[in-house]
Structure 1
């Protein structure tokens, strides 16, 4: 798909400056900026969905660290030569 976007003069100048400073063409800088914005929007949608489905359950950090340490200790006992 190809389309044209009319930018305000200041935005056009900033885009050109950004492209020049990063060694890209204006088109490359614009495409990258658009893709980053779309990714941010998608991330926000996922975050909103997860918040909506949040059951409020939390695991204290200390419990997570303890479980990881126990798992690592068990792996070391199984395969002591890996150390």
Structure 2
């Protein structure tokens, strides 16, 4: 248990920070799932629009260091490749 006043404050801040970070991570995963659903549905226009929004969210989360920048790049690269593959298959 935290004994000093500053340690107690840090403990309180960590609870709020953890909740916020979890919320941001969850939002990112939801956007990724929406993009994958659009890709699986075969709707290229929706997939492109969803990819644009998802890329923005992934970048925002990575900038706040909630996820590592390489993980962000990996997600964006794989989603982009999947959307591009839709255009070639059609």
Instruction: Give me the TM-score of the superposition, normalised by structure 2.
Output: 0.36
Higher helix share: 2
Structure of higher RCO (CA pairs closer than 8 Å, 6+ residues apart): 2
TM-score by length of 1: 0.39
